[in-house]
Amino acid sequence: MTTLEIGIASFPVLLTLIFLRVPIGLAMFLVGLFGLYFATGTFNMGFSRLKSETYSTFSSYSLSIIPMFLLMGHFATLGGMSQSLFKAAEAWLGHRKGGVAMSAVGACAGFGAICGSSLATAATMSQVALPELRRYGYAGGFSTATLAAGGTLGILIPPSVVLVIYAILTEQNIAKLFLSAFIPGILAAVGYMLTIAIYARIHPDRAGTARERMPYAQRWRAVLDVWPVLTVFLVVVGGIYLGVFTPTEGAAVGALGTGLIALVNGGLNRHSFVESFMATARSTAMIFFIVLGAAFYNGFLALTQVPQELSNYVVGLGLSPWMVLTVILLIYLILGAVMDSLSMILLTIPIFFPIVANLDFGMTTEEVAIWFGILVLIVVEVGLITPPVGMNLFVINSMDRLTPMIETYKAVLYFVASDIIRVIILVLFPGITLFALRLMY
Amino acid sequence: MHRFMNGLARAMAVLGGLVLTALIILVCVSVLGRALNTLLHSGPVTAVLGDFAKTLLDTGVGPILGDFELVEAGVAFAIFAFIPLCQITGGHATVDIFTAALSVKVNRMIQMVVDIIFAGVLILIAVQLYEGLLSKMQYRETSFLLQFPIWWSYAASLVGAVVAAVVGVYIAIVRVAEFFRNQTILSIGGADH
């Protein structure tokens, strides 16, 4: 077998392992290690890489942003910010048809601006919004679906852990990616609200009763109550955009800020402090083990030249770049139904990115990289809410035992449709994603 | 035994969390110092404060030297310290959809094999990290700015790596027992949630 063949053969082996419930990071690590063995004939290379590579992967300054953002998200949860965000959104939207559900989406968008994880956003907002939705007579499945979809805004709206990983894998500027994710994130929130409005008209019996309309003075007061969220967001994301500090510094400032707010609001005591460490520890270790496995596997793949050969092959086919892009996005949609977003990105970007970067979309390489990153971010997030195994659906459903899963499945399809329409629009008009970038740089 | 292992994993996670918090504060102080330094160097401020601005600057108001290196060393320790908890609570990302259809017995066997291999990999990582430590020590590598020996950070990380390996071996033993006794001892997704 040539090394190229070994590289190609590693795909089915890796997928089989993953589907046999081998943890994804471990599977990539093993295939990388044994792949190097088969390609070089000895374990020396793999073992000597381990001497320094585990340490250097875990001690990366750019990746240190991840545990900091995760901790920031947990502090934000403890600080009661989800409560004030929901109240503010409700003050403005609550009186509309489906308004309480729209408020949940709006609050998710706000929370997403200080939290980089979908699951955390979905779980946090559910605690606040699910009881309210039930109180106003919203059907269980519609409520859970709304929150599952709203949760994906946690990752779409910067800061975003997945974008950090993408930026590092493709050597792109994190600040520029965050900036470009902003407009698609807002579009997602607006799209979900439209979806709710449509759903409320198709199924008026499931969309509850509207709240009473609030006077404007009261509305503005509710907005004033979210100043801590707004301040943290403006300082962190603004600081990163304007280059006042590095993304890691921004994450540290944000974590300290949300921590102080939680402390002042009385949400942070010894017990909750320790529990936020536990939650951060679990997710961080999970993410970094996948990062380590991916580093190993990708190191092996690079040695076998598979990414370059595949890229050359695809370019040689002479297909339309748009067709290749569509196929790649479809692969993500399918994979997203069974795999978590981070693993998917780490597994596929080293293979797909060289292909896309080599295609001619009539844009600069950087623009293509950023645009593609945002598109991938969105399609992997669709996976989080796609039945049967979307992670967000499970998280929310575990918080609302009264609602059967099938009800959530039915209602969430509306939101999936809204996601797919948005992806199509963003594919057809790259200028929407790149607008902010072209304006600022 | 489980209480001890669980306590060990949680203690490591708290330790890692505290280091992470310390890093966050360190980075914020450094950012603040840099901002003040820039401010004190700016025209209007020097005009108003005069010599006082210079005095302040002489006391060393500015970014913390080598904050970058401390973050790298600290975050590596924190992440290694986080792994045992992830291990004992079964927090690793998996794809469950295809194995859900298989029998409990088969699933126990898969889990056993996976966790034995996982334990092996964690031991391998710890051993190779130790090898790495020895070579850093031998070549007396130091960090660029602070000039502290790199092996110090390796040694700190090694603590987490060793605990992870110990916990990994414990989990593997539990899985073997589960398979042969045909009962669940430690449910995946966390025993104490």
Range with lowest mean pLDDT among A191-195, A422-426, B11-15, B33-37: B33-37
Tokens of A299: 């190191």
Confidence of residue A82 (pLDDT cuts 50, 70, 90): confident
Between A64, A286, A388, which is nearest B86 by CB? A286
The answer as to whether A285 is a domain residue is no
CA distance B111 to A202: 46
- In this structure, of A107-121, A275-289, B14-28, B159-173, the range with the lowest mean pLDDT score is A107-121
Domain span at A135:
60-268+305-440
Measured in whole angstroms, the distance separating CA A188 from the mean position of its chain's CA atoms is 13
> What are the pLDDT digits (tens) for B104-113?
999 999 999 9
Least confident segment among A219-233, A258-272, A380-394, B123-137: A380-394
User: B-chain residues within 8 Å CB-CB of A60?
Assistant: 72, 75
Predicted confidence (pLDDT) at residue A399 exceeds the cutoff of 90 = no
Q: Residue ranges of chain B with pLDDT lower than 70? A: 188-193
Ramachandran category for residue B117: left, alpha or beta (phi over 0 → left; psi -120 to 50 → alpha) = alpha
Residue in chain A closest to B6 (alpha carbons) equals A278
Look at the alpha carbons of A98, A102, A104, A105 in this order and tell me if their dihedral is positive or negative: positive
Please compute the mean of the pLDDT values over residues A3-28 and round it to a whole number. Answer: 92
Average pLDDT over residues A287-304: 91
Domain for residue A48, yes or no? no
pLDDT tens digits along B111-126: 999 999 999 999 999 9
Question: How far apart, in whole angstroms, are the C-alpha atoms of residue B19 and residue B70?
Answer: 11
Number of domains chain A is built from? 1
The predicted complex's ipTM stands at 0.91
**Rounded-to-integer distance, Cα A162 and Cα A155, Å:** 7
Is the CB of residue A385 less than 8 Å from the CB of residue A148? yes
- pLDDT at residue A388 greater than cutoff 80: no
Query: Which residues of chain A lie closer than 8 angstroms to B91, CB-CB?
Result: 282-283, 285-286
Q: Looking at beta carbons, which residues of chain A come within 8 Å of B128?
A: 47, 50-51, 54
Where are the domains positioned within chain B?
Answer: 2-181
- Report the alpha-carbon distance of residue A74 to residue B20 in Å, rounded: 14
* pLDDT, tens digit, 9 for 90 and up, residues B30-52: 999 988 888 887 777 777 777 77
Q: Residue A291 in 3-state DSSP? A: helix
Mean pLDDT of chain A: 90
Q: Is there a domain that residue A275 lies in?
A: no
Pick from B155, B77, B119: which is nearest to A67 by CA? B77
Distance (Å) from the alpha carbon of B45 to chain A's nearest alpha carbon: 19
Contact A26 B121 (CB under 8 A): yes
Polymer length of chain B? 193
CB within 8 Å of chain A, chain B residues 51-90:
68, 71-73, 75-76, 78-83, 85-87, 89
- Per-residue model confidence (pLDDT) at position B192: 35
Question: Do residues A189 and A109 lie in contact, with contact meaning Cβ atoms separated by under 8 Å?
Answer: yes
Listed in sequence order, the residues at least 6 apart from A220 whose beta carbon sits closer than 8 Å to its beta carbon are none
Nearest alpha carbon to residue A232 among A179, A158, A149:
A158
Residues B181 and A287: their CA atoms lie apart, in Å, by 33
3-class secondary structure per residue, A315-371: HHHCCCHHHHHHHHHHHHHHHHCCCCHHHHHHHHHHHHHHHHHHCCCCCCHHHHHHH
pLDDT at A105: 96
Q: B residues 13-52 near A, CB within 8 Å?
A: 13-14, 16-18, 20-21, 23-25, 27-28, 30-31
- Residues of B within 8 A of A380 (CB-CB) are none
pTM of the model: 0.89
Please answer whether residues A409 and A388 qualify as being in contact, where contact means their C-beta atoms are separated by less than 8 angstroms. Answer: yes
